[in-house]
Structure 1
Amino acid sequence: MPQLILSDASLAYGHVPLLDHADFQLDPGERVALIGRNGTGKSSLLRALAGQGTLDDGTVWQQPGIRRGYVPQEPPFDPDRSVFEAVVDGMGEVSTLLAEYHAVAHAMAEDSADHEALLERMHQLQGELESLNAWSFEMQAERVIQRFSLDPDARVGTLSGGQKKRLALAQALAISPELLLLDEPTNHLDIGAIEWLEEFLVSSGVSMVFITHDRRFLDRVSTRIVELDRGRLLSCPGNFSAYLARKESILHDEAIQNAKFDKFLAQEEVWIRKGVEARRTRNEGRVLRLEQLRRERVARRERQGKVELALDAGDKSGKLVAELEHVSKHFGEGAQRLTVVRDFSCRLQRGDKIGLIGPNGAGKTTLLRLILGELAPDSGRVRLGTKIEVAYFDQFRTQLDEEAALVDVISPGSDYVEIGNEKKHVIGYLGDFLFAPQRARSPVKSLSGGERNRLLLARLFARPANVLVLDEPTNDLDIETLELLEQLLQDYTGTLFLVSHDRAFIDNVVTQSIAFEGEGVWHEYAGGYQDWADYQARRRAQEAAQPVAKREASGAVQSAKSKADGGRKMSYKETRELAELPGRITSLEQEQARINQRLADPTIYQAEPQEAQRISLRLTEIDDELMALLERWEALEL
């Protein structure tokens, strides 16, 4: 039985239809990713599915009694509520009891409290909660609050925008929903929280519709892709990789059909302009058909153009950008002392593209400020290069004046911007970032999240800089713009510092990473996030296997010695071989476990069928090799 049905839905913004008689159905267990360009109406559609927005026409049906969680882009909360109260607010009757139980438990810790009265009330609440089987809800609430690194007693009004997004996710997940509607759930989450959310959503079996531009998240979570394009919903089974292959074919077919249509229309226009022949033949049917073709051509909506990105690296900086030697930085004193950077050294040169990897609060911004000489270290030395011109992209968009017009943000006091050696009118430049001329005088406060990011990129790229600092530039950008930005940064000849939780973006852009290892320790690695993650996995596997391998190797050597003393004397080569067998077996078993884990992911068979076949064959080879090694071990010990 379907859990959600959208029927013949229409919705327009001004004269532009966001939904044009669209239909959609969500079945149990499906995880549907809703994608599309910024401004196509994805959030409006999700609000309608959640019952938070209205349609101009059409209906939304939801399975009666289903538990539904909804996370909007900008979640609204009562600022006076505590985090715990806000999380349990969505639990109906249980929420009031849990909130009071939580408050009573805290009140009992006060010395001046009436402990007898509070204890009596706690017993009453316990009875009521047990009758509703509510303790599992409390455990779930506490678990998600902890997972998203929130303080249960903090007031909602004191939280940042990112913390409020994590709170909204915690609230939606705490009710153990059967249906989830998520709008950009990965925004403001660090990589650890994103990966936890991926695993939770995949293993929970909950049905969902979600909007995201995180391609790694799309590939891991989605079972179906639905693209909202020019008012229509295009459905594609499988993950994002499968969608990309199919989309290319669809766009190719659409271009061919449009070209055929335009050619036929042009031929008919030539015929009607002959006039005399048209009247003489009295072919009224052909004239009527031409009128219909004209109406269809006018009604046809072309795909929105691509963002035109260009970046001026300005004058070259010196070859050395920054050199840090044994740099440390801490904040606070005594018991409150927090070491953010501990004995860190690195040498960064012109053209390096550095990604900073670490959880929220690890100190990425502090490390960046140390590298760029904006913050003095407590110990160690920082040496900066010459001719450095730095430009910043701020994830919180504090550089944008809400009341300023778009043209004044880009080029205050001038009608032109200069990119490289080319002078361009500011309205045309805004058009490169998909801002229509009629919006050039609109205030910043009228823009959506994605549009604000595009505006900030436009402002950033309008100024020459040989060092770019990008702090979460991917939030709210659509996938096509992300890929164009990736290409631009790959071709950029200056030095780049990138802070991002978009794993695919990091992997596609950076040449090296500086990763947080805990307790103020940072290390530099070649490559992007996946290279760092693979290194960490190998290190953990080696550390886990080392004690076992040592014990087994010791046993093997002892066995070899016993044989040398009492049985058939083994050669030196055989003794060495026996001692090495446990390590070889452990290595194969680890490879076997990694392959089994990859093959357990169903998306690999759709996205990478050849890779799935290759590693399946390798799995068979490992089984044969293990059997041969075990037989050899047995033979040597006889």
Structure 2
Amino acid sequence: MNLVNLESVSHSYGPKPLLKDVSLGIEAGDRIGVVGRNGGGKTTLISVIAGHLKPNEGRVTHNRGLHVGTLSQGDDLDPARSVAEIVLGDRPEHEWAGDAGIREILANLLGDIDLTAPARSLSGGERRRTALARLLIEEHDLIILDEPTNHLDIEAIDWLARHLSARRTALVVVTHDRWFLDAVSTRTWEVVDGAVERYEGGYAAYVLAKAERARIAAASEARRQNLMRKEIAWLRRGPPARTSKPKFRIDAAQALIADEPPPRESVELVKFAAARLGRTVYDLEDVTLHAGGPDQGPLVLDRCTWQFGPGDRIGLIGVNGSGKSSLLRLLSGTVQPDSGKVVRGRTVRLAHLSQELGELDPSRRVLETVEEIRKFVQVGKKEWTASALLERLGFKGEAQWKVVGDLSGGERRRLQLLRLLMDDPNVLLLDEPTNDLDIETLNELEDLLDGWPGTLILVSHDRYFLERVADRCVALLGDGKLSMLPGGVDEYLQRRASGAALSARAASGSGAPSPAAPSGAAASAAPAAEAGPGLSAKEERELRKELSRLERQLDKLAGREAKLHDSMAAAAADYGRLAELDAELKAVRAEKDDIETAWMELADRLGE
């Protein structure tokens, strides 16, 4: 059934048209992800679809009785009303409390929010979750979401993706979160130059299809240029002999990436990083840290010892409020530990991108603001000018001469990140660098960071960006430790779900009221956690011994790996020796992977 039709729709603000003669339709069951550059017309398009904006030209028709639910970027909440009043309205308690679907939404989005609190007391993230919960508890024929993952942590994003996938409602979503796009959408619309280009599949399929379109366009242009040269030659020489025309075929998606090298040459970058940084970057020695100062606020680290080495690319994961930003501030020297010691390498040249961006002079021009740091910078093997880097991150042509005070939040974030990179740091601490960045800019930023040698510690809820840029993940799970995650974000979600299931069983066993049953990943993890234990005390002791032995082996292998990196840096000019060391490093990493797999299997048996 057709729900919405757009016929020859055009709309503009000022001289530049955001939508130009756009015709498209949405049918029941469609799941559409909308992508495009910031300011390119995505929000305008969904506002027209929802009926909130009347286009300058064209016609928009809705199916009779269509019920549309929308989530805008600005959460419109009455500051005087409580969270419960906003989300549940006039529903009596027995009605919503007896509805499993509503309980699931409340538990996953508002579980840590006081439902009696007024909206004026909520943080930005809490306001976002409240608006999302209000939308999701209603029944709709079409749901339209504008940046629904803003301010949500990885667990909430994972739950939201599963929840939306399970609904039969038609869906249109604008988001820069590429993992989320792949998880919820089956079609992709790209808003570009006033048109809407349509692709089948989620984000991954869209990337391949767009690359194929670009390849065909390039081949067509090459053929046109070739024919023009032949025409000119014919005009100069007279009628030539007949020649056969070149034939082009559409290669399969695999052919597009067959000769593509890995995103980055890790060994070479680590070797370069070790040469610039030496052996020590950051060593945490028996560190205790609270988020609000000594013995104040949540405990982040409890007598923790950890080492960040040259060339490490680490993604830091945890729920909102777990202390990720506090840990970055500890490494940057902004805060001091309650106890213990933080050893910082003597050659560390730090750049810290915090969520509270540093001050930019609003009267300066964009290019001047970057060039006052440096006019040229070396990224990997290539030297970049300030202007060339600005162009890569979306400041093209006249945009480089805009006044800083006229920039949007996303543009200011890009500008601040560029200023940090121009200062030629060898250690980067990035706290939510993807906020307000569109997909094209994210792709350019990832490509830029691929060639950047140094130590990178990243906090982000953008799962795609996190897995793309970081080589390994570390979690703050609320136990005062930094926990290695060999399985990345998937392992983090499993461990969090297992912990929730164990806590629920413990609460039930002690006679405490049982909370709402966990849903999605948590629900699926619960039976596994129940079946896993059933171990005798002796079996558990033996397993824990084996676990400790594997952890000691992992520590030794990590030490061997660090020594091999040092040896490779020292033997940079001896290619024969470098090849031997590289082979040994690969063997160490393979052994490490096997031991990590064994460790994870044991941890699962113990329910950890």
Q: Which of 325, 344, 364 does residue 324 from structure 2 map onto? A: 364
Aligned-partner Cα distance in 2 for 1:243–1:387 = 43
How far residue 62 of structure 1 moved from its aligned partner, in angstroms, is: 2.2
Aligned runs of 1:63-74 on 2, under 5 Å? 63-74=63-74
Aligned runs of 1:31-46 on 2, under 5 Å? 31-46=31-46
Secondary structure, aligned partner of 1:169: helix
Aligned-partner Cα distance in 1 for 2:102–2:414 = 38
Aligned-partner Cα distance in 2 for 1:535–1:81 = 36
Aligned-partner Cα distance in 2 for 1:272–1:56 = 49
Give the direction of change, closer, same or farther, for the CA distance of 1:144–1:367 in structure 2 (3 Å limit). Answer: same
Aligned-partner Cα distance in 1 for 2:162–2:126 = 21
Q: Does 1:8 align with 2:8?
A: yes
How far residue 466 of structure 1 moved from its aligned partner, in angstroms, is: 1.0
Aligned-partner Cα distance in 2 for 1:147–1:11 = 36
Secondary structure, aligned partner of 2:414: helix
Give the direction of change, closer, same or farther, for the CA distance of 1:459–1:332 in structure 2 (3 Å limit). Answer: closer
Q: Which of 410, 420, 444 does residue 378 from structure 2 map onto? A: 420
Aligned-partner Cα distance in 2 for 1:247–1:336 = 51
1:502-542 deviation line (CA, Å, top 9, x unaligned) = 22222222223221222433323447434655788899788
How far residue 224 of structure 1 moved from its aligned partner, in angstroms, is: 1.4
Structure 2 unmatched runs, 5+: 237-268, 500-524, 540-608
Superposition TM-score, scaled by structure 2 size:
0.68
Aligned-partner Cα distance in 2 for 1:433–1:411 = 15
Where does residue 547 of structure 1 map in the other structure? 533
Give the direction of change, closer, same or farther, for the CA distance of 1:164–1:537 in structure 2 (3 Å limit). Answer: closer
Q: Does 1:491 align with 2:491?
A: no
Aligned-partner Cα distance in 2 for 1:255–1:477 = 28
Given that 1:315 and 1:466 are in contact with CA atoms closer than 8 Å, whether structure 2 keeps it comes out as: no
Give the direction of change, closer, same or farther, for the CA distance of 1:330–1:134 in structure 2 (3 Å limit). Answer: closer
How far residue 550 of structure 1 moved from its aligned partner, in angstroms, is: 6.5
How far residue 444 of structure 1 moved from its aligned partner, in angstroms, is: 3.8
Aligned runs of 1:366-381 on 2, under 5 Å? 366-381=326-341
How far residue 498 of structure 1 moved from its aligned partner, in angstroms, is: 0.1
1:321-362 deviation line (CA, Å, top 9, x unaligned) = 111122212367999863222222111111111111101000
Where does residue 136 of structure 2 map in the other structure? 173
Aligned runs of 1:125-140 on 2, under 5 Å? 140=102
How far residue 228 of structure 1 moved from its aligned partner, in angstroms, is: 2.0
How far residue 48 of structure 1 moved from its aligned partner, in angstroms, is: 1.7
Where does residue 109 of structure 2 map in the other structure? 147
Percent identity of equivalent pairs: 36
How far residue 499 of structure 1 moved from its aligned partner, in angstroms, is: 0.1
Q: Which of 414, 417, 421 does residue 457 from structure 1 map onto? A: 417
Letter in 2 for 1:341: L
How far residue 17 of structure 1 moved from its aligned partner, in angstroms, is: 3.1
Secondary structure, aligned partner of 2:434: coil
Given that 1:321 and 1:388 are in contact with CA atoms closer than 8 Å, whether structure 2 keeps it comes out as: yes
Q: Which of 195, 198, 203 does residue 166 from structure 2 map onto? A: 203
Q: Does 1:434 align with 2:387?
A: no
Aligned-partner Cα distance in 2 for 1:147–1:41 = 29
Q: Which of 143, 167, 185 does residue 222 from structure 1 map onto? A: 185
Given that 1:373 and 1:384 are in contact with CA atoms closer than 8 Å, whether structure 2 keeps it comes out as: no
Given that 2:69 and 2:143 are in contact with CA atoms closer than 8 Å, whether structure 1 keeps it comes out as: yes
Structure 1 unmatched runs, 5+: 89-94, 99-125, 274-310, 554-638
Where does residue 354 of structure 1 map in the other structure? 314
Q: Which of 251, 275, 278 does residue 318 from structure 1 map onto? A: 278
Where does residue 585 of structure 2 map in the other structure? none
Q: Does 1:328 align with 2:288?
A: yes
Give the direction of change, closer, same or farther, for the CA distance of 1:142–1:194 in structure 2 (3 Å limit). Answer: closer
How far residue 410 of structure 1 moved from its aligned partner, in angstroms, is: 2.5
Aligned-partner Cα distance in 2 for 1:460–1:188 = 24
Letter in 2 for 1:180: I
Give the direction of change, closer, same or farther, for the CA distance of 1:344–1:63 in structure 2 (3 Å limit). Answer: farther
Where does residue 237 of structure 1 map in the other structure? 200
Where does residue 475 of structure 1 map in the other structure? 435
Given that 1:314 and 1:465 are in contact with CA atoms closer than 8 Å, whether structure 2 keeps it comes out as: no
Where does residue 23 of structure 2 map in the other structure? 23
Give the direction of change, closer, same or farther, for the CA distance of 1:267–1:244 in structure 2 (3 Å limit). Answer: same
| Bigger Cα Rg | 1
Where does residue 58 of structure 2 map in the other structure? 58
Secondary structure, aligned partner of 1:316: helix
How far residue 318 of structure 1 moved from its aligned partner, in angstroms, is: 3.2
Give the direction of change, closer, same or farther, for the CA distance of 1:138–1:316 in structure 2 (3 Å limit). Answer: same
Aligned-partner Cα distance in 2 for 1:481–1:7 = 31
Aligned Cα root-mean-square deviation (Å): 4.0
Superposition TM-score, scaled by structure 1 size:
0.65
Given that 1:224 and 1:235 are in contact with CA atoms closer than 8 Å, whether structure 2 keeps it comes out as: yes
Letter in 1 for 2:20: D
1:78-120 deviation line (CA, Å, top 9, x unaligned) = 44444334435xxxxxx4x46xxxxxxxxxxxxxxxxxxxxxx
Aligned-partner Cα distance in 2 for 1:337–1:438 = 47
Give the direction of change, closer, same or farther, for the CA distance of 1:166–1:387 in structure 2 (3 Å limit). Answer: same
Secondary structure, aligned partner of 2:33: strand
Where does residue 250 of structure 1 map in the other structure? 213
Given that 1:313 and 1:464 are in contact with CA atoms closer than 8 Å, whether structure 2 keeps it comes out as: no
Secondary structure, aligned partner of 1:453: helix
Aligned-partner Cα distance in 1 for 2:222–2:294 = 73
How far residue 388 of structure 1 moved from its aligned partner, in angstroms, is: 1.6
How far residue 468 of structure 1 moved from its aligned partner, in angstroms, is: 0.6
Given that 1:184 and 1:212 are in contact with CA atoms closer than 8 Å, whether structure 2 keeps it comes out as: yes
Given that 1:404 and 1:444 are in contact with CA atoms closer than 8 Å, whether structure 2 keeps it comes out as: yes
Letter in 2 for 1:375: V
Give the direction of change, closer, same or farther, for the CA distance of 1:352–1:334 in structure 2 (3 Å limit). Answer: closer
How far residue 146 of structure 1 moved from its aligned partner, in angstroms, is: 5.9
Give the direction of change, closer, same or farther, for the CA distance of 1:325–1:62 in structure 2 (3 Å limit). Answer: same
Larger mean Cα displacement after TM superposition, 358-367 or 479-488 = 479-488
Letter in 2 for 1:147: L
Where does residue 511 of structure 2 map in the other structure? none
Give the direction of change, closer, same or farther, for the CA distance of 1:165–1:156 in structure 2 (3 Å limit). Answer: same
Secondary structure, aligned partner of 1:547: coil
Secondary structure, aligned partner of 2:436: coil
Where does residue 184 of structure 1 map in the other structure? 147
Secondary structure, aligned partner of 1:152: coil
Secondary structure, aligned partner of 1:182: strand
Where does residue 500 of structure 1 map in the other structure? 460
Where does residue 382 of structure 1 map in the other structure? 342
